[in-house]
């Protein structure tokens, strides 16, 4: 339960929710010239709606946008907090990782294995140690800097999902220019099948792609079909269809960029927690690693 409205509510819920509301409203503004009312009452309702939709969007993102950054040798998911401890990873210096290993061993009686090859069992221990370290910082009220990166990567994850759904919706509006009875029936069948598949996808065990990718693909189809239906109802002209196609392209580019930023901030979050924990346990804060300034 949230005790008070803080920056995480803004980054994690309100801004992504506001983005998807604006993206889905944009076609109505372009085609019919209908824009949101600027009155105070409408603004208050818009903020509440955006905040609520932001919660729904983050629930979807948590399931569909993986927090893992790579696969281990045995196929398990590896997270930034695991990867940055690897001996060959240069985001943290070797000296810091060695000293951090000793601190974790003394504080939590856990072995994070800085000089050991990655494995599923070792990554589970590293994750336990990471959560313990984060708890220590939260208890000492020293985690504010790490929370900023957590808020930023949550924001970028939400925005990437919003732009992806927005791009699909724009495409649907644009494709409505090619309307016809056959295409209308096809869209209805696709939306219905996608809704049924999304509701029952967890029972399928024989699909080649991951459940997350299938779910994301189905949501894209649903968003595109909804855009097509709205475009058919509002009779999109050729000129407006071209504008909407351009919006879809820009939204797709924004999706790729924000997803890349999400991955980058997730690494910075893990690095900050490990460093702050080491510093809080009496170690000196190490100088910034050159690799941190490079693109993740």
**pLDDT tens column, 251-291:** 999 999 999 999 999 999 999 999 999 998 866 444 444 44
Give the predicted TM-score (pTM) of the model: 0.81
pLDDT > 80? residue 214 = no
pLDDT > 70? residue 211 = no
According to the model, what pLDDT value does residue 157 have? 93
List of residues 6+ apart from 31 with CB closer than 8 A:
173, 231, 234, 236, 237, 240, 244
According to the model, what pLDDT value does residue 274 have? 93
- Per the prediction, the chain carries an average pLDDT of 84
Binned at pLDDT 50, 70 and 90, residue 1 comes out as very low
Binned at pLDDT 50, 70 and 90, residue 215 comes out as confident
Burial 260-277 (b: 16+ CB within 10 A, else e): ebbbbbbbbbbbbbbbbb
Binned at pLDDT 50, 70 and 90, residue 178 comes out as confident
Binned at pLDDT 50, 70 and 90, residue 180 comes out as confident
* 126 against 181, higher pLDDT: 126
Share of the chain above pLDDT 70, in %: 85
pLDDT > 90? residue 181 = no
In whole angstroms, give the CA distance from residue 125 to residue 107: 14
Binned at pLDDT 50, 70 and 90, residue 5 comes out as low
The predicted model gives 131-149 an average pLDDT of: 83
* 290 against 21, higher pLDDT: 21
pLDDT > 70? residue 9 = yes
pLDDT tens figures, 109-118: 999 999 999 9
CA 144 from chain centre, in angstroms, equals: 21
The predicted model gives 76-95 an average pLDDT of: 91
According to the model, what pLDDT value does residue 144 have? 67
The predicted model gives 201-225 an average pLDDT of: 69
pLDDT tens figures, 63-84: 777 788 888 888 888 999 999 9
- Please tell me the least confidently modeled range out of 100-114, 115-129, 139-153: 139-153
Q: Are 198 and 212 in contact (CB under 8 A)?
A: no
Nearest to 9 by CA among 45, 64, 58, 68: 58
According to the model, what pLDDT value does residue 199 have? 62
Q: Are 212 and 63 in contact (CB under 8 A)?
A: yes
């Amino acid at each position: 339960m949230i005790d008070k409205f803080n920056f995480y509510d803004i980054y994690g819920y309100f801004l992504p929710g506001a983005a998807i509301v604006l993206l889905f409203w944009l076609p109505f503004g372009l085609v019919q010239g209908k824009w949101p009312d600027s009155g105070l009452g409408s603004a208050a309702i818009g903020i509440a709606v955006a905040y609520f939709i932001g919660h729904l969007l983050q629930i979807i993102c948590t399931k569909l946008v993986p927090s893992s950054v790579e696969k281990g040798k045995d196929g398990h998911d590896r997270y930034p907090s695991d990867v940055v401890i690897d001996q060959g990873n240069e985001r943290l210096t070797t000296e810091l990782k060695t000293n951090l290993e000793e601190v974790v061993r003394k504080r939590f009686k856990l072995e994070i294995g800085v000089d050991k090859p990655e494995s599923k069992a070792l990554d589970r221990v590293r994750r336990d140690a990471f959560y313990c370290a984060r708890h220590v910082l939260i208890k000492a009220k020293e985690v504010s800097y790490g929370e900023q990166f957590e808020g930023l990567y949550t924001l970028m994850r939400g925005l990437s999902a919003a732009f992806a759904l927005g791009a699909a919706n724009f495409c649907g509006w644009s494709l409505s220019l090619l309307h016809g009875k056959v295409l209308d029936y096809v869209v209805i069948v696709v939306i219905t099948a996608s809704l049924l598949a999304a509701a029952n996808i967890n029972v399928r065990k024989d699909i080649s792609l991951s459940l997350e990718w299938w779910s994301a693909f189905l949501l894209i189809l649903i968003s595109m079909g909804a855009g097509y239906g709205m475009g058919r109802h509002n009779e999109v002209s050729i000129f407006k269809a071209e504008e909407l196609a351009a919006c879809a392209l820009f939204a797709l580019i924004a999706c790729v960029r924000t997803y890349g930023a999400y991955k980058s901030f997730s690494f910075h979050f893990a690095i900050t927690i490990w460093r702050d924990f080491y510093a809080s346990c009496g170690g000196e804060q190490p100088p910034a690693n050159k690799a941190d300034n490079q693109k993740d």
